[in-house]
């Protein structure tokens, strides 16, 4: 097919979303390389992200551009390429999150450099959605989120808490400081363990380099904040079995996870290749199936709209600190990370993705659970 035909085809598709090539609106795109047209028609979202990182196109408002594409469901009008279909097929046949693959995935993303995350995230190094109700900045939104979790669990002094996928220990540090509990956190990232232990020094907090499948012990409450997205659908049931095994009979399990509006077997191909290998977003149906006969669902809270604000705060933090980072990271990496943060913000803004906090009990809370917002 000729270049002019491809250009016309892409122009027509983008027009459905109210986007003009080389237009004047902030969410319009400026195309610098005509190979862009063939690439996105052939490779869909993978080609769109790759061509941005390669510098083939720009937009003053990438998040607004992605929001328009997803709001108009334009992504559903471009057929997936063979690589995407093959990726879904592999996910059906093989477990993408074995213990070895989980460690590899963590190393690719979370072990890139603590300097990057310290510049991008809040002061507590929290890599999950903030709770922006009555919050004027990112630090307050993240502390609001942690306090919300503690209140949902009704934490009491002296209790012992397990955090599955604890990151740099931000939640367990907060819980130990503010609610006088002891905590154990597990992660498969070496860099998170090293810095987390340093940040939690002097507190009744343990952080272990451990796959969740190897967990043992008994805990008053269990939390998992932003780790379930890395579990993969083949392991959802096993994850719930581990949480059930580690939770005392009267305890609560709070699961905080990004979620999708329908069931899938693999994630967006660009995210999978360049940001979070072997990740995927669970659906309500998949989570429901995984908890059946294990837990009673006490509360299901969706505050996915807050992830837009959180991602935009991370984007502004990253770029305001880029001068101090650019000696350690390439400009290509800078474009890649900007695209990751802005495209995800656009996706949450379009309500394509959700953020769920789910409170689960083993046997049902006597008298009923009081939902906290």
Q: Strand, coil or helix: what is 184?
A: strand
Domain with CATH 3.40.50.150 in the chain: 96-361
**Which among 166, 183, 200, 344 is annotated as catalytic?**
344
CATH homologous superfamily for the domain 96-361 = Vaccinia Virus protein VP39 (3.40.50.150)
pLDDT at 82: 43
Measured distance CA(142)–CA(140) in Å, rounded: 5
51: nearest Cα among 280, 251, 343: 343
Measured distance CA(167)–CA(193) in Å, rounded: 8
Measured distance CA(73)–CA(53) in Å, rounded: 23
pLDDT at 83: 47
Q: Is the pTM of this model over 0.95?
A: no
pLDDT at 162: 98
pLDDT at 97: 53
152: nearest Cα among 360, 349, 327: 360
Find out whether 234 and 266 touch, Cβ atoms under 8 Å: no
Contacts of range 73-81, beta carbons closer than 8 Å, 24 or more positions apart: 74/13, 74/14, 74/16, 74/17, 75/44, 75/45, 77/13, 77/16, 78/13, 78/40, 78/41, 78/44, 79/44, 80/44, 80/269, 81/42, 81/43, 81/44, 81/46, 81/47
pLDDT at 153: 98
**Per-position pLDDT tens, the chain of length 373:** 578 888 999 999 999 999 999 999 999 999 999 999 999 988 889 999 999 999 999 999 999 999 999 999 887 766 554 444 334 444 455 555 566 655 566 666 777 789 999 999 999 999 999 999 999 999 999 999 999 999 999 999 999 999 999 999 999 999 999 999 999 999 999 999 999 999 999 999 999 999 999 999 999 999 999 999 999 999 999 999 999 999 999 999 999 999 999 999 888 999 999 999 989 999 999 999 999 999 999 999 999 999 999 999 999 999 999 999 999 999 999 999 999 999 999 999 999 999 999 999 999 999 999 999 9
Find tokens 């130990």 and name the residue: 176
Alpha helices in the chain (DSSP H): 3-16, 35-53, 62-71, 82-93, 99-109, 114-120, 138-153, 170-179, 190-199, 236-246, 269-274, 284-291, 305-320, 322-325, 331-349
Measured distance CA(42)–CA(323) in Å, rounded: 36
Q: Any catalytic annotation for residue 344? A: yes
pLDDT at 112: 79
Find out whether 318 and 341 touch, Cβ atoms under 8 Å: yes
Find tokens 């598709």 and name the residue: 13
């Amino acid at each position: 097919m000729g270049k002019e035909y491809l250009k016309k085809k892409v122009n027509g598709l983008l027009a459905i979303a109210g986007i003009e090539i080389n237009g004047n609106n902030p969410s319009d795109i400026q195309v610098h390389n005509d190979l862009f047209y063939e690439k996105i028609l052939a490779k869909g979202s993978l080609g769109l992200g790759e061509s941005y990182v390669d510098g083939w196109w720009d937009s003053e408002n990438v998040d607004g551009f992605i929001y328009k594409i997803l709001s108009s469901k334009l992504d559903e009008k471009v057929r997936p390429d063979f690589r995407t279909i093959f990726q879904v097929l592999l996910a059906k046949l093989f477990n993408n999150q074995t213990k070895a693959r989980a460690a590899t995935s963590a190393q690719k993303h979370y072990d890139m450099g603590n300097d990057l995350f310290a510049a991008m995230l809040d002061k507590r190094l929290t890599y999950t959605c903030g709770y922006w109700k009555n919050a004027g900045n990112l630090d307050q939104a993240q502390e609001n989120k942690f306090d919300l979790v503690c209140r949902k669990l009704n934490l009491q002094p002296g209790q012992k808490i397990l955090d599955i996928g604890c990151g740099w220990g931000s939640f367990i540090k907060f819980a130990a400081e503010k609610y006088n509990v002891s905590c154990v956190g597990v992660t498969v990232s070496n860099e998170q363990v090293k810095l987390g232990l340093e940040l939690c020094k002097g507190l009744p907090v343990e952080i272990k380099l451990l796959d969740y499948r190897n967990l043992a012990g008994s805990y008053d409450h269990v939390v998992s904040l932003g780790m379930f997205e890395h579990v993969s659908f083949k392991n959802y049931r096993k994850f719930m079995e581990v949480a059930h095994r580690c939770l005392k009979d009267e305890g609560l399990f709070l699961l905080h996870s990004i979620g999708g509006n329908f069931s899938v077997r693999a994630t967006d191909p660009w995210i999978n290749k360049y940001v979070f290998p072997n990740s995927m977003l669970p659906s309500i149906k998949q989570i429901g199936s995984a908890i059946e006969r294990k837990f009673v669902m006490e509360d299901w809270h969706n505050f996915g709209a807050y992830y837009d604000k959180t991602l935009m705060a991370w984007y502004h933090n990253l770029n305001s600190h880029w001068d101090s980072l650019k000696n350690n990271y390439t400009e290509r990496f800078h474009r890649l990370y900007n695209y990751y943060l802005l495209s995800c913000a656009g996706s949450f803004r379009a309500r394509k993705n959700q953020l769920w906090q789910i409170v689960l009990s083993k046997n049902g809370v006597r008298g009923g659970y009081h939902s906290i917002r």
